[in-house]
Amino acid sequence: MAIKGRSLIGVGAFVLLCGLVALGHWYVTQRAPTASEAKKASVLHVTNPGDRGPGTLREAIFLVASATGPSSISIEVPKISLETALPPLVNGHGVRLVGQAAGAEIDAQSLVGAPVLDISGANTSVEGIKIQNCPATAILVRAVRFRLSGSLIESCDVAVEVADNASDTLLERNRFLKDRIGVRFGASGRNSAVTDNEFTDNKDAGLWAVRRASDTNDDVIGIRDNKLTEEGIAIVAGNIPVLIEHNDFINAHQADVQVVGAGAVIRGNHINGGASMGIVAENASGAIIEDNEIEGLTAYGVMVRGSANTLVRANRIHNCGYGIAFVLGDPHSISTAIDNTIVEPKFNGIDVVGDSPNLRRNQVFRAHAYALHVENFRRPDGTKVLSQPFMDKNNFGGESAQSNATADVKPDVR
């Protein structure tokens, strides 16, 4: 009996020891590291899905701010529900925020007026996370060298806000879904690029790059290889130089690309479908619209309105409501359409209203109304703006423009 009793005591002690070891392991993983530990640690683990306390994202951001070297934050819980604004994400040596758990979701529906992530330190990257339900901005970028990749931002007011003082911003392989605005730039942002992202069903715009006035020293924002589907306006660019190249636009509601001011190049894109305009240059200067394929739009493939020195070259426009329009351009800095091909517009191929552009080597085939429609414009005060386009070697249905002009040009009816 004594031996049996000692055996029971030994087993109990062993069980107790195992429990203490497990409790110690839990405590080590859940407790907040000390200041010295935080400075030494290169990786901080988010293991608590709560808004605050040991192991939370908030605690990790605080600790990273005091780290003496580059640091990473590893989100290892499937969902974090924020109740109050997080501190700015900053580290003098750079920080990487990575979603490790499947989904790695941050739900921000309880935040009011504050960004979910405030990128205030240089050399910051965010990878593999999902942010949703933001009443304000998901990610505010106000530092240099920020990278966002492999992430999803859904149902926010603005998914990514790039402030005036930010530069070297790279947004790649992300999804922006059902936000009001997907990405918004407040200035040109040196060495900034938006590449290989998917924008879907963003209410006002997929990408918005607008400011009050242009600056000749601005760098160009590269917008390349993105897919934009069912956007209000897919891309709006105003007084910020942009290179919009090799993107795929599908079923925009108002326009696929709208540019205002100087510095826009729209090249090599594919625009398909929608009850909208394709490319609209309004009060633009020096815009280049070339080598785009535009098909299946209800309205115009390209509209140049109130603009100066705009070049529309080598675009292929087919099965749209209308082809190209020039309306009330600058008579001292005329625009040009050259080497464009327009096939089977539902109405007119080229409309010229109160403008006198250069029309050279364009082709219009099987227009259902007029291949070329030229019309003067009468202002509300009664004055008339004449339309006198310069015509050279155009082909409107197999014959030269010069010999076929009277048949294909609608007379002034005002």
> What pLDDT was estimated at residue 103?
74
> What pLDDT was estimated at residue 216?
66
Quick one: which of 202, 195, 150, 151 has its CA closest to 169?
A: 195
pLDDT digits (tens, 9 = 90+) for 144-181: 999 999 999 999 999 999 999 999 999 999 999 999 99
Angle formed at CA 7 by CA 6 and CA 8, multiple of 5 degrees: 90
**Whether residue 2 has pLDDT greater than 80:** no
pTM for the model: 0.86
If phi > 0 it is left, if psi is from -120 to 50 it is alpha, else beta; for residue 393 that is left
Q: Give residue 412's Cα distance to chain centre.
A: 42
> What pLDDT was estimated at residue 82?
94
Question: What confidence tier does 327 reach under pLDDT thresholds 50, 70, 90?
Answer: very high
Q: Region 192-202: what's the mean pLDDT?
A: 98
**Whether residue 62 has pLDDT greater than 60:** yes
Question: What confidence tier does 1 reach under pLDDT thresholds 50, 70, 90?
Answer: very low
Q: Region 6-19: what's the mean pLDDT?
A: 46
What is the C-alpha to C-alpha distance for residues 100 and 127, in angstroms, rounded to an integer?
9
**Do 373 and 352 form a contact (C-beta atoms < 8 A)?**
yes
Radius of gyration for the chain, computed over Cα atoms and rounded to the nearest angstrom: 29
Question: Among the listed ranges 66-70, 286-290, 329-333, 406-410, which one has the minimum average pLDDT value?
Answer: 406-410
The count of C-alpha atoms lying within 13 angstroms of the C-alpha of 270, restricted to the half-sphere facing its C-beta, is: 8
> What pLDDT was estimated at residue 413?
32
Angle formed at CA 96 by CA 95 and CA 102, multiple of 5 degrees: 155
What is the C-alpha to C-alpha distance for residues 385 and 375, in angstroms, rounded to an integer?
9
**Is the CATH code 2.160.20.10 the one for domain 109-408?**
yes
pLDDT digits (tens, 9 = 90+) for 354-372: 999 999 999 999 999 999 9
Bridge-based pairing state of the strands 105-107 and 124-127: unpaired
Q: Region 288-316: what's the mean pLDDT?
A: 98
**Do 368 and 343 form a contact (C-beta atoms < 8 A)?**
no
Question: Among the listed ranges 139-153, 207-221, 324-338, which one has the minimum average pLDDT value?
Answer: 207-221
**3 state SS of 268:** coil
Bridge-based pairing state of the strands 384-385 and 377-378: antiparallel
Structure token digits, residue 195: 């590449």
Quick one: which of 287, 289, 317, 307 has its CA closest to 354?
A: 307
Higher pLDDT, 18 or 301: 301
**Whether residue 19 has pLDDT greater than 80:** no
Phi and psi, residue 127, nearest 5° = -140, 135
What is the C-alpha to C-alpha distance for residues 95 and 14, in angstroms, rounded to an integer?
43
Structure token digits, residue 309: 């020195």
pLDDT digits (tens, 9 = 90+) for 35-56: 444 455 489 999 999 999 999 9
What is the C-alpha to C-alpha distance for residues 174 and 244, in angstroms, rounded to an integer?
17
**Do 341 and 363 form a contact (C-beta atoms < 8 A)?**
yes
Quick one: which of 73, 11, 9 has its CA closest to 42?
A: 73
**Whether residue 102 has pLDDT greater than 80:** no
